[in-house]
Structure 1
Amino acid sequence: MSSVVQLIRSSALADAPYSYAATAPSGSRLIFLAGACPLNDDGTTASPGDYAAQAARCVHTLSEALRAAGATLTDVISTRVLVASSSQQDLVDAWDVIHAAFGDHEVPSTLLGVTVLGYDDQLVEIEATAAVADI
């Protein structure tokens, strides 16, 4: 089934690797996801010290949460990516993994450097909202 999410770009704004806005039609069911964390199945933090590996594990966690809600990455309408670092390169390392996982579905996203995240050794977290057809 195709996604109800419509990504919106603007030729009046700078070209970016994400859409500037997104919409879903009236009657869509919104899914608000908790922050996807880089946790292993046993609850420990995956890949301490590795921004890219933690971003990949966050995408896995996000994908599983979406699946449980009857959605996929292409149903995501917005993300917020939190990276525990003041280094722009660390943010880019995490973003590159997340952007690649979403492929052509370049959802509106905010990328933030933060001081600390909730789990020991956690460096990355992805918040997301998705929209699916309300059947």
Structure 2
Amino acid sequence: MSRAVTLVRSAALSDVAEYAYAATVPAGARLIHPAGACPLDENGATVAVGDYAGQAAKAVENLRTALGEAGATLDDVVSTRVLVASSSQADLVTAWEVVRDAFGAHDVPSTLMGVTVLGYDDQLVEIEAVAAVFDEATASA
């Protein structure tokens, strides 16, 4: 089945960025807006306390699960926002590298932000995403 997401690159913008600069979704695609993916285990406890990379990995795992429940994968993601509770650029980069590596060649437009605090005790990372898919009926039409 074809993907609903098309990544857009620009020769007029810096090639230093490790992501596409835009993404498009055609009419008829179903958008998926999962809640922010947090580094929580099945009991709701924050994992990898104090570990930016470990929390980013768990947040990606939970994002994969939420997307799967909605009929999507990471390859269907249109964009992300990665929130990191730190004022240190090194901590942001540590979390970002985990997220970037999880997406691989599907390098969606992303925003990386340092924030003051996140919602759960000991939480350092949260990943927001939007995805788009063609449903079976839409894809065959």
Short-chain TM bin: over 0.9
Aligned match of 2:37: 36
Paired letter, 2:7? L
- Identity of paired residues, percent? 68
CA displacement at 1:55 relative to structure 2 = 0.1
Q: What's the C-alpha RMSD, in Å, of the aligned pairs?
A: 0.7
Secondary structure of 2:133's aligned partner? strand
Q: Which amino acid in structure 2 is aligned with residue 23 of structure 1?
A: T
Q: Which runs of 5+ in 2 are unaligned?
A: none
If the length of structure 1 is used for normalisation, what is the TM-score?
0.98
Partner Cα distance (2:102, 2:74) in 1: 8
The superposition leaves residues 55-101 of structure 1 with CA deviations (integer Å, 9 ceiling, x where unpaired) of 00000000000000000000000100000000000000000000000
SS of equivalent to 2:79? strand
Tell me which residue corresponds to 2:97. Answer: 96
Q: Structure 2 CA distance, aligned partners of 1:58 and 1:28?
A: 25
How many residues are matched?
135
User: Which amino acid in the other structure matches residue 89 of structure 1?
Assistant: A
User: Separation in 2 of the partners of 1:49 and 1:3?
Assistant: 37
Secondary structure in structure 1 of the residue aligned to 2:123: coil
Which digits, 9 at most, give the CA deviation of each residue in 1:19-69, with x for residues without a partner?
100001110000011100000111100010000000000000000000000
Counterpart CA distance in 2 for 1:17 and 1:2 is: 24
Amino acid at match of 1:126: I
Which amino acid is 2:54 matched to? A
Q: Distance in 1 between matches of 2:129 and 2:2?
A: 19
What is the letter of the counterpart of residue 89 of structure 2? Q
What amino acid does structure 2 have at the position aligned with 1:76? Answer: V
Larger radius of gyration: 2
**Residue correspondence of structure 1 range 3-18 to structure 2 within 5 A:** 3-15=3-15, 16-18=17-19
Q: Which residue of 2 aligns with 1:25?
A: 26
Structure 1 gaps, min length 5: none
